[in-house]
Copies of this chain bind each other. A is one copy, B any other.
Amino acid sequence: MDSAEFRRRGKEMVDFVADYLEGIEGRQVYPDVEPGYLRPLIPTTAPEEPDMFEDIISDVEKIIMPGVTHWHSPFFFAYFPSANSYPALLADILCGAIGCIGFSWGSASEATLVALLAARTKVTRRLQAASPGLTQGAIMEKLVAYSSDQAHSSVERAGLIGGVKLKAIPSDGKFAMRASALQEALERDKAEGLIPFFVVATLGTTSCCSFDNLLEVGPICNKEDMWLHIDAAYAGSSFICPEFRHLLNGVEFADSFNFNPHKWLLVNFDCSAMWVKKRTDLIGAFKLDPLYLKHNHQDSGLITDYRHWQLPLGRRFRSLKMWFVFRMYGVKGLQAYIRKHVRLAHEFERLVQQDPRFEICTEVTLGLVCFRLKGSNRLNEELLERINSAKKIHLVPCHLRDKFVLRFAICARTVESAHVQLAWKHVAQLATSLLATPRD
């Protein structure tokens, strides 16, 4: 869909919305359907080729609306009001388009925390079943979780919030967590009386898009009865392409897995997808059922009460965004999008390699290139400062061990070879003028 079609479809959608809200009083406020009604009405996989917009919007009325409780019907007197107004809807359209992320993003953080909390509950119950005298405090004091030293800061934060120790496992030369380093930490901690219970493995780290070795780490987690959570926030989207699927080998050892379609799968923020092997582990951890939240189907197994899967109770109807995107791009369109980004990253990588003043810092697997000027950290900090002061392009840095490194991530939906070429020319020119500056 190009912007001309968006103009047309967007206006149709505005009319659709106005029609819906004008006519809402005539709709039955509460649906007739039974849980599970939707499953046979939608295909089990995303379409290979894009669907037509007309078909999607007609399906909205045909298959989605029959399942909707109309919260904005004037005959809805349940719970408390949930606000809705035309100005807010207008602002939300704009909010989606600007699509800026308040300083950073990462509902993957919440998934990590939820997994850690579920694992904490699980191990606590197991230990208390074995030794009924053990208090929660006594157990928590000994719990220890692990992640690679390359894991996202939100993993450490999950440890702080969960009130448990989190230890960083030194990664190998490719910035991956390996069996030996994990095993070593485990032995040492167990010898000190600590209780290992949780491991976060990252597929596609934020700093350099490295991949922890699931085939090595997974079996250790299973053997030691530790919960294995996989954070594939960025890289997860690439697994829709068969050629990147091997990066996922070992996923069968995981207890939970998360990736963010709002990063790389064309679904605007926020949209973070989480799987758990045994959903009762999550649900059992924090389930509370006051009367005003009870419903007839909660123990039927037919429905998934996502409020037990997350920290806030409420959720927006975000699956609608995924459904539109899957149907209007089709699997082929989505794969083409991922492949284009990876191709552009390799294009930038080659440009860097052809300039002897620069070095590539780690293998380019997906859409991220880590690079730097050969030379001091100070020099590279200065280069980044000049790049970001000029404001023609925007980059953020990272540390890889003791090195200050520039991260070039292929981001925009609209980025093309021309932008990458321009960006590199700009970086190279700034480097030239920087290197010509007398150094103290």
| A72-B414 contact, Cβ under 8 Å, with A86-B3, A87-B1, A135-B141 | yes
Give the chain B neighbours of A391 by CB distance below 8 A. 28-30, 32
Render A155-185 as a binary contact track against B, CB cut-off 8 A, 1 for contact.
0110011110000000000000000000000
Cross-chain contact A68 with B407 (CB below 8 angstroms): no
Cross-chain contact B268 with A93 (CB below 8 angstroms): no
Most buried by B among A7, A162, A265, A311: A311
Give the chain B neighbours of A87 by CB distance below 8 A. 1, 266, 321, 324-325, 327-329
Cross-chain contact A95 with B312 (CB below 8 angstroms): no
Q: How far is the CB of A204 from chain B (nearest CB, A)?
A: 8
Which of B73, B141, B265, B266 has a CB less than 8 Å from the CB of A136?
B141
Q: Is A13's beta carbon under 8 Å from chain B? A: yes
Q: Is A207's beta carbon under 8 Å from chain B? A: yes
Cross-chain contact B102 with A317 (CB below 8 angstroms): yes
Q: When chains A and B are docked, how far (Å) is the Cα of A137 from the Cα of B91?
A: 46
| A83-B141 contact, Cβ under 8 Å, with A7-B15, A391-B29, A415-B74 | no
Q: When chains A and B are docked, how far (Å) is the Cα of A428 from the Cα of B308?
A: 36
Q: Is A356's beta carbon under 8 Å from chain B? A: no
Cross-chain contact A91 with B323 (CB below 8 angstroms): yes
Cross-chain contact B96 with A88 (CB below 8 angstroms): yes
Of residues 67 to 105 in A, which have CB atoms within 8 Å of B's CB atoms?
68-105
Interface-lining segment among A217-225, A245-253, A288-296: A288-296
Q: When chains A and B are docked, how far (Å) is the Cα of A93 from the Cα of B311?
A: 25
Q: Is A37's beta carbon under 8 Å from chain B? A: no
Instruction: Report the copy number of this chain in the oligomer.
Output: 2
Q: How large is the interface on A (under 10, 10 to 19, 20 to 34, 35 or more residues)?
A: 35 or more
Of residues 248 to 273 in A, which have CB atoms within 8 Å of B's CB atoms?
261-271
Q: Is A361's beta carbon under 8 Å from chain B? A: no
Cross-chain contact B77 with A394 (CB below 8 angstroms): yes
Which of B29, B81, B153, B393 has a CB less than 8 Å from the CB of A394?
B29
Q: Is A148's beta carbon under 8 Å from chain B? A: no
Q: Is A214's beta carbon under 8 Å from chain B? A: no
Cross-chain contact A263 with B83 (CB below 8 angstroms): yes
Q: Is A5's beta carbon under 8 Å from chain B? A: yes
Q: When chains A and B are docked, how far (Å) is the Cα of A271 from the Cα of B162?
A: 25
Q: Is A419's beta carbon under 8 Å from chain B? A: yes
Q: How far is the CB of A299 from chain B (nearest CB, A)?
A: 14
Q: Is A211's beta carbon under 8 Å from chain B? A: no
Give the chain B neighbours of A160 by CB distance below 8 A. 285-286, 288
Of residues 40 to 87 in A, which have CB atoms within 8 Å of B's CB atoms?
60, 68-87
Give the chain B neighbours of A292 by CB distance below 8 A. 206-207, 396-398, 407
| A101-B394 contact, Cβ under 8 Å, with A21-B3, A414-B25 | no
Q: Is A409's beta carbon under 8 Å from chain B? A: yes
Give the chain B neighbours of A135 by CB distance below 8 A. 141
Give the chain B neighbours of A75 by CB distance below 8 A. 392-394, 412, 419, 422-423
Cross-chain contact A84 with B99 (CB below 8 angstroms): yes
Cross-chain contact B263 with A395 (CB below 8 angstroms): no
Q: When chains A and B are docked, how far (Å) is the Cα of A361 from the Cα of B103?
A: 47
Cross-chain contact A94 with B13 (CB below 8 angstroms): yes
Q: How far is the CB of A33 from chain B (nearest CB, A)?
A: 11
Cross-chain contact B307 with A88 (CB below 8 angstroms): no
Q: When chains A and B are docked, how far (Å) is the Cα of A234 from the Cα of B79?
A: 10
Cross-chain contact A395 with B77 (CB below 8 angstroms): yes
Q: List 28 A-B contacts (CB under 8 A).
A: A3-B21, A4-B18, A70-B100, A74-B416, A77-B423, A78-B409, A81-B234, A81-B367, A82-B105, A82-B262, A82-B268, A87-B327, A88-B321, A89-B97, A92-B268, A95-B318, A102-B306, A102-B307, A102-B314, A104-B313, A105-B314, A153-B289, A153-B293, A156-B288, A157-B288, A160-B285, A206-B290, A292-B397
